Structure 1
Amino acid sequence: MHLLRSRLGILIMAIACFINFHSNAQQLDPILQDLIQKGLSKNHQVKRYQLDADLANTDEKMAKAVYLPKVTLNGSYTRLNDDITFDENTQNLLMSTQKLLIKEAIGIPFNTPLPAGVPLTEAQNLQNKNILKSSVDLNWVLFSGFAVKNGVKASQHKAASMNYLSLAEQDKVALKIIETYDQLALVYASKSALTTTEDYLKEQTKFVTKAIENGLATPIDLKKIELAQLQMAGKFLAFEQNKTLLVEVLHQLTGEKKETLALLHPKLDLIGNDTISNTEKRNEIKALEEVDQALQFKSKMVKSNFIPKVALQGHYEFIEKDLSLLDPIWYVGVGAKWNVFDGNQTRLTNKKVQIESDKYKDQITEATEMVDLSIIKSELDYKAAIQNAQIVHKEIELAEETYLMSREQYKNNLIPINVVLDALKDLEQANFKLQNSLFQQRRAVTALLHAKGILKY
């Protein structure tokens, strides 16, 4: 009886802590926190969202890079079938003009033949047939019509959206690991309740054995207790099977070694939070809002197609001797491009962006409504868990008193052993209900914290 009352006292203390848990805020078990962090590092969907965020950040850098000057080095060799020269009439004209200029320079009348021995220069080729070129080009966008500015903003909001989606996925991973860890704790708690019942059966076995020796009980009573013990062994086997399964699930979620997980002995400690009345915007909604913002800047970027763009262009030739007579050695210029009409492509593209934005706005409204509903449900589950704890408290008291009374009645030959075993089974069930009540409390608090966007791990 002393053993029974001692165990019952521990259970009642747990119930008392449960009813007042909100005044004793507790953090998650450090081992559980470590498992969650390992699970977040292992989860593939979280990694994909983070990679998507990196892609968006890269798009932002690429957009900014539009304003950086682009310098290109060029080199080429070309061989024509022949030199490009002036036609014969033009060459004769150039030669005659050269003679006239020489005569004028030395003071000879223009109709006097040019003295022999005066050197003349042949007209240069327009382009030699062997062409070797080496040059550098500069292209520098000076003004993009705000396309770069809006593109950068769109990429920033897209990256933020991916980061929020990653956080939302992390919440899901954390919730799954917490639930599995708590299920493992519940399995261990059930083993504890089974051990308590097993101890009671051992006490009852000793009593019945002694009673048989004194002629106060029959061997049938002892066989009934032995049957109850065999049934208890089956429950212990189920415990081992459930433990193995949950260890496997935790291994899949976290990547932790099974041998290490098998050594864990989690307990259903009560969790609370002093800030449970606070509410923050969920990451899922933040992600949708960031996507909508990205689409707004994308729309502005599309509209900027009709704003003039300005760019600078430069060119310099390193090899002059192979240039044609018409090729410049270098040039620098500033140009503008103004798209006046593009066949309604910009207008239709912008319309598609706006339709997509409206779709996300509708998703934000729906998600907000669903979050509000989940908060109400979680609060109701939270209150129900507290109420259920009080009910379990009374059930345990009643089961204990019934068992003690039936045991005394059996000792006085007032009832059969079946009634005692049934009372013991009821006490065992009450103990299971207590552990399950603690499990449900943790589920309710965790769900409420997640629904309110304040789940910390």
Structure 2
Amino acid sequence: MKTFKNNFVKILVFLPVAFSAQQAPTLQEIIDSALVNDGTLTQQNLENKYTKLDDQKLKDVFLPKVEISGKAGYLFTSAHLQSSEINLPALPPIFPGATIPEGQLSNNLNISGISAMAKAEASILLYSGGKVKYLKEANREKNIAENLLMQKTRDEVITEVSKAYDQMALVLESKNVLDESKKRLDINRKTADKALGYGLITPYDHKKIELAQANLDSKLVEYEGKKELLITQIYLLTGIERERIALIQPQLQTISYEVLDQNIENRVELQALDHGIKATDYKIKAEERWWVPKVQAQTSVSYFGLFNNTISTSKELLPNSGKKLDFNPSNLNILPIVQAGVGFKWDVFDGNEGKHQVEKAKIEKEILENKKRDASKKLNLNLANNQTNYNIANAQIKLKEKSREIARQGLEQVEKEFRYGTKTSSALIDAENDVESAELEVQNAIFNQRRSAIELMKSTQNLQIEKL
């Protein structure tokens, strides 16, 4: 009994999970998954991390920098000494005094041994000449521009996903149309069987009904292929399980959208270019600071040691003394060697490098301004074109609905006459094909209207997922 209760509890826990796993994903879930799964958007996010890293580097410019260095090795140095005339005073009664002529005292002083050096140095930038401040502002504008362009990519992803979603609805509607046609053909097939038995139609006319049914069956097979292809496409775009995607049952409905303000200034492309232009303005100001002195504080503590050293001369220390210097002092250690102070660097003339950088930044600004002018023209034309397409698409729906109504009435009339034997099977099949085509054309018109409405929303940067 206890085992049964445990198993029953597990079943109750598992059932909601299994049920939720088999629920068809909503359009919102599909869009969210596609945004996470999109390679272009991921790439833009990764590239934006470079900009954020540059911003952090600029913030860290004024942090102290500490370096510790050291080295050890063999040291040898030689200094050549040549004196002018030297007068040595008399020291009676020990030394009578002497004069050493100019150039007479010429010698080489050699120092050799094992040297060691260690140094700890700290420095901090106190003033960058104002360049860092402007570079920070330029980087901030660049970050805004990159995020705006990511919004454009998101809109493109939403457009692609919604199109695949609507294509799934279009395929399902096609299946419904084909099912209705199959029902009508089945009924008319029974009528044809009776008419053939009474001799009201020929076997040839009867075969035409069979051929129409076979043609319809082939369309149903084609439908299954299109559905599988769309399931694969949505799966690749989103990563959602194919089994859940197969449960989608969307319906095609028109999108009502009215452009209240014929304005393209909200387009992210133009906003991104505006922020790009501002970034170049700050970059120009930063490059113009090349001549301003930079100030830095620095302090260091050093150690110097000389071990197993020898200090010698190549000749006698004094003329006719008969002795050279050959001194082997004990280890020499100098600690601490302390330095502290404030220094500056002033590029009075840098070979016009700073001037060239300023000119380069100005050219970048002109390029962006030209891109904005060109983009404004194209986006205005795009808005007018999308508005026209939207109006045409709405008109097409009304036209196709009228054609469907006429086709349905025609089929009803032909079916009545076929039952009375006054219409052939060819007329019946033609009327059936007309209805089928009219039904599909209405669904295609709705599909196209949704595409044009989405493009119109994008024209004014007002793509609303809740309207899809």
TM-score by length of 1: 0.79
Identify, as 1 or 2, the structure richer in strand: 2
1-side partners of 2:369 and 2:222: how far apart? 50
TM-superposed CA distance for 1:412, in Å, is 2.8
> 1:25 — aligned with what?
none
Secondary structure of 2:58's aligned partner: helix
**8 Å contact kept, 1:74–1:134:** yes
Residue number among 344, 347, 352 corresponding to 2:352 in the alignment: 344
What letter is aligned with 1:408?
K
What letter is aligned with 2:205?
D
**8 Å contact kept, 1:164–1:286:** yes
- Indicate the larger mover: 228-237 or 126-135: 126-135
Does residue 192 of structure 1 match 2:176?
yes
2-side partners of 1:302 and 1:126: how far apart? 51
2-side partners of 1:154 and 1:287: how far apart? 13
> 2:58 — aligned with what?
63
Return 5+ residue gaps in structure 2 as ranges: 1-23, 95-108, 308-330
Does residue 370 of structure 1 match 2:378?
yes
The one-character-per-residue Cα deviations of 1:144-169 (angstroms, maximum 9, x if unpaired) are 11111111122222222222222212
Secondary structure of 1:216's aligned partner: coil
Does residue 77 of structure 1 match 2:72?
yes
Secondary structure of 2:351's aligned partner: coil
TM-superposed CA distance for 1:324, in Å, is 8.1
2-side partners of 1:58 and 1:126: how far apart? 53
Question: Compared with structure 1, are the counterparts of its residues 73 and 189 closer, same or farther at alpha carbon in structure 2 (3 Å cutoff)?
Answer: same
Does residue 290 of structure 1 match 2:298?
no
State the identity as a percent: 28
> 1:120 — aligned with what?
none
> 1:46 — aligned with what?
41
TM-superposed CA distance for 1:409, in Å, is 2.1
> 1:246 — aligned with what?
230
Map 1:1-400 onto structure 2 (within 5 A). Answer: 31-81=26-76, 129-272=113-256, 281-317=266-302, 329-400=337-408
> 2:449 — aligned with what?
441
Question: Compared with structure 1, are the counterparts of its residues 414 and 325 closer, same or farther at alpha carbon in structure 2 (3 Å cutoff)?
Answer: closer
How many positions carry a matched residue from both structures?
404
**8 Å contact kept, 2:305–2:334:** no
Identify, as 1 or 2, the structure richer in helix: 1
2-side partners of 1:448 and 1:269: how far apart? 16
Question: Compared with structure 1, are the counterparts of its residues 219 and 276 closer, same or farther at alpha carbon in structure 2 (3 Å cutoff)?
Answer: farther
> 1:12 — aligned with what?
none
What letter is aligned with 1:281?
N
> 1:404 — aligned with what?
412
Secondary structure of 2:141's aligned partner: helix
TM-superposed CA distance for 1:52, in Å, is 1.2
> 2:5 — aligned with what?
none
Does residue 418 of structure 1 match 2:426?
yes
What letter is aligned with 2:31?
I
Secondary structure of 1:140's aligned partner: strand
What letter is aligned with 2:297?
L
Secondary structure of 2:26's aligned partner: helix
2-side partners of 1:111 and 1:177: how far apart? 111
Question: Compared with structure 1, are the counterparts of its residues 174 and 264 closer, same or farther at alpha carbon in structure 2 (3 Å cutoff)?
Answer: same
**8 Å contact kept, 1:135–1:316:** yes
> 2:11 — aligned with what?
none
> 1:432 — aligned with what?
440
**8 Å contact kept, 2:303–2:334:** no
Secondary structure of 1:310's aligned partner: strand
2-side partners of 1:48 and 1:451: how far apart? 25
Question: Compared with structure 1, are the counterparts of its residues 444 and 81 closer, same or farther at alpha carbon in structure 2 (3 Å cutoff)?
Answer: closer
2-side partners of 1:64 and 1:454: how far apart? 36
1-side partners of 2:47 and 2:79: how far apart? 60
The one-character-per-residue Cα deviations of 1:304-339 (angstroms, maximum 9, x if unpaired) are 101111111111236799998999721211122221
What letter is aligned with 1:162?
E
